Amino acid sequence: MSQVSERLAALSPSETLAMSQKSNELKAQGIDVINLSVGEPDFFTPDFIKEAAKKAIDDNFSFYAPVPGFLPLRNAIVSKLKKENNLDYKPEQIVCSNGAKQAVCNVLLCIINPGDEVIVPAPYWVSYVEMVKLAEGRNVIVSADIEQDFKITPAQLEAAVTPRTKAFILCSPSNPTGSVYSKEELKGLADVLARYPDIIIIADEIYEHINYIGKHESIAQFENIRERVVIVNGVSKAYAMTGWRLGWIAAPQWIASACNKLQGQYTSSPGNIAQKAAEAAYLGPQDCVETMRQAFERRRNLIVQLASDIPGLKVRQPKGAFYLFPDCSYYIGKSFNGNKINNSADLAMYLLEEGHVAAVGGLAFGAPNCIRFSYATSDENLIEAMARVKKALSVLQ
């Protein structure tokens, strides 16, 4: 008998992790699956960061740390925000967590009352909507399709605001679309938000450094909303450190204090060794970040070229992150051996079972016509994977 809470029963499991697991199962059966479902760099963590972690072990960083993270780490984040983003924060406004994932969840749990509305642009990162549910809030989805480069307009944002709107979540560069809002586009959204002083803006900037159009622009730069913006970031994507689990927020003091309080009763600080590694990442040489960015850009160019050659796929060039998010609606409704492809989740399953390529159907991201391929893998894998996808799609009727 299962007695899980209603809160848990309302949650959907992560589709991304499910596809990855299914792909591993097929691999375990000896099937050569190419996994383009995971959202992580395929690079190893740079050596100087690993050395800092080894030193932290030898230096006995084995005791409880302050809940929001060691002060030198928070100072390093403050310096990063000043140097890279020209934003001023105090270390008390920084709270480090077990990944940006926990950081987003902390903020939502700290500000949402039951029934409060959170505006989430779609396509969205799968976890936002589940976290809002966990906080007993209501998701208000604002959709932007491929024709508008998956970016919502100020008018769309304004139309979604109600007296119950508590927060707005913006992800740029975006998972799953790879879209990046320009400074002018961000200003347009900020000008709308400036008219609604009770809305908290959660700016997920975890893909900040994986940007192919130039300097990262943060919505926190606009003075008219600045005091209500929570920046979410971390070391997972920029420094190839997904498994270290270190993310953070830079927030108005009351939100940072609230997250500190919540985390103090829940998980305490993130692991010390990861904290020391992250401190080294921020203070050390940054050329590793640029080297990885260039590799992602080259792969982006490759996958765009390969996917554009597949009939029926509508491809838009991503401007950041490491995902391709083509519209695959041409194939929805088609069949294979009498089995109908009803949606993009079915299509992803078909590509896995028949093409041996793992991707994630767009349904999970609030975009049922699209499918997500992660291109954080080798050129050879990308070439082979896209050849398999092309072949598998060509036999659908």
User: Which of 178, 247, 270, 355: binder of ligand PLP (CB under 6 A)?
Assistant: 247
Contact 363, 343 (CB under 8 A): yes
204 makes contact with ligand PLP (CB under 6 A): yes
- Euclidean distance between CA atoms 80 and 280, whole angstroms: 12
Q: Could you tell me the smallest distance in angstroms from the CB atom of residue 98 to ligand PLP?
A: 7
- Determine, following the binding rule CB under 6 A, whether residue 234 of this chain makes contact with ligand PLP: yes
> Considering the rule CB under 6 A, would residue 99 count as an interface residue with ligand PLP?
yes
Site track 34-63 with ligand PLP (rule: CB under 6 A), x = hit: -----x------------------------
Minimum distance of ligand PLP from residue 26's CB (angstroms):
22
> Which CB atom, from 262 or from 393, has the smaller least distance to ligand PLP?
262
**Near ligand PLP by CB under 6 A, which window of 51-59, 96-104, 371-379, 384-392?**
96-104
State yes or no: residue 238 binds ligand PLP (CB under 6 A): no
Give, in order, the Cα–Cα distances in Å from 318 to each of 135, 196, 219: 32, 31, 20
Taking the complex as a whole, how short is the minimal distance between the CB of residue 234 and ligand PLP, in angstroms?
Answer: 4
The answer to the question of residue 180 lying near ligand PLP (CB under 6 A) is no
The beta-carbon contacts of 254-259 under 8 Å, at least 24 apart in sequence, are: 255/107, 255/110, 255/111, 255/200, 255/230, 256/68, 256/92, 256/93, 256/94, 256/95, 257/92, 258/110, 258/111, 259/68, 259/95, 259/97, 259/103, 259/106, 259/107, 259/110
Give the position of tokens 């996958």. 303
How far from chain centre, in Å, is Cα 356? 25
What is the smallest separation between the CB atom of 288 and ligand PLP, expressed in angstroms? Answer: 17
Minimum gap (Å) between residue 340 Cβ and ligand PLP: 31
Of 147, 138, 215, give the one whose Cα is nearest residue 182: 215
| Window of 94-102, 185-193, 222-230, 249-257 that interacts with ligand PLP by CB under 6 A | 94-102
Residue 282 main-chain phi, psi, to 5 deg: -70, -35
- Give the residue, chosen from 125, 168, 212, 322, that forms a contact with ligand PLP under the rule CB under 6 A: 125
Contact call for residues 276 and 129 (beta carbons, < 8 A): no
Min. distance of Cβ 278 from ligand PLP in angstroms?
10
Q: Are 107 and 93 in contact (CB under 8 A)?
A: no
The reply to whether 318 sits near ligand PLP by the rule CB under 6 A is: no
Q: How far is the CB of 224 from ligand PLP (least distance, A)?
A: 25
Contact (Cβ atoms closer than 8 angstroms) between residue 68 and residue 94: yes
Strand partners, 168: 119, 201
Site residues (CB under 6 A) for ligand PLP? 39, 99-101, 125, 171, 175, 204, 206, 234, 236, 242, 247
